[in-house]
Amino acid sequence: MLRPIIGIIIILLISGGLAWAGSQGSVYVPRVSLFAICASIGFILHWLVFVPSFIFQTEHYFDLTGSISYIATVTIAAVMHPLLDLRGLIICVLIAIWAARLGSFLFLRVKKAGQDRRFNEIKTRFWRYLFTWTLGGAWVFITMAAGLAAITSMTQRPLGIFLVLGVGLWIIGFVIEVIADRQKTNFRKNPENAEKFITTGLWSYSRHPNYFGEIVLWIGIAVIALPTLVGWQYLTLISPIFVLFLLVKISGVKLLEEGGQKRWGSNPEYQHYVATTSTLVPLPKKSD
């Protein structure tokens, strides 16, 4: 019980420090920084939904809550900012598009499957489950911290090469993520593939191309935000690093790789796929 409690405290301390740093260049409405207000939204929504989720022992609304948190945060930021500039508006739209697409995709996938195996043990243990939902709130805030700093900033800069480069990266990452998700969904629709692993399309170049796309699009958001950052706000550039770390070392890639070894570890074809296919970045096949 002690470890998840300590984890929750650490998450809140780190998030609080980042909220303070991002608030340095933020507008105030009227006496509280807009950045700090927006930083709290994801946590509040996750804690609110956690209560019925634990009572009814369901994980069905975890990803949907994250999606709603992103959209609610950028919407409140845009509405409350007294003078939102075009850069901030573009970031709001990009984040909302990504969140709406991914959130609805994951929600429908869990509903169809009936469960998310990641939560089978966690959801029965109050503090571990609360830690997971608190981490969800932190995920929302920290992944969008750089973008949020730009949206809520009192500093306005001319649109230039950073906007073009950042939007380009976002489009590339978004397209890769959407295509990868669609290819895997279509693969799973075929009953013959029920116990198989996908090795076609983008999945022939990377074992996790969807996560690669997500990392790239958040790098794009950080690039767009960069010109407006001042002082301690540069700490919000941890956003894409946090996404990379969480997806590779904590959640997505790590869990799926472990699950893959449990399901197909004794399958020579799977071992060959793992040995010759890049883990994250789409690359040509390695030679045998």
Please give the pLDDT value at position 199.
92
Mean of all residue pLDDT scores within the chain: 92
Please give the pLDDT value at position 103.
84
In this structure, what token pair is assigned to residue 223? 């690039």
- CA dist 256 → 82, 175, 197, 248, 260 (Å): 44, 22, 11, 10, 6
Query: Is 10 within the bounds of a domain?
Result: yes
Q: Please, what is the Cα angle at 58 between 240 and 195, to 5 degrees?
A: 75
Residue 267 φ/ψ, nearest 5 degrees: -90, 115
Please give the pLDDT value at position 244.
94
In this structure, what token pair is assigned to residue 235? 């700490």
Average pLDDT of the segment spanning 222-244? 95
How does pLDDT run across 128-177, given as a tens digit for each residue?
999 999 999 999 999 999 999 999 999 888 889 999 999 999 999 999 99
Please give the pLDDT value at position 74.
97
Query: Is 190 within the bounds of a domain?
Result: yes
Q: How many domains does the chain have?
A: 1
**1 pLDDT higher than 80:** no
Range with the poorest average pLDDT among 55-69, 108-122, 193-207, 239-253:
108-122
Query: Is 281 within the bounds of a domain?
Result: no
Range of the domain at 162: 2-276
Beta bridge partner(s), residue 33 = 28
**288 pLDDT higher than 80:** no
Query: Is 286 within the bounds of a domain?
Result: no
| pLDDT band at residue 115 using 50, 70 and 90 as cut-offs | low
Please give the pLDDT value at position 109.
75
The whole-model pTM stands at: 0.91
**43 pLDDT higher than 90:** yes
How does pLDDT run across 197-227, given as a tens digit for each residue?
999 999 999 999 999 999 999 999 999 999 9
Query: Is 287 within the bounds of a domain?
Result: no
Of residues 117 and 131, more confidently modeled: 131
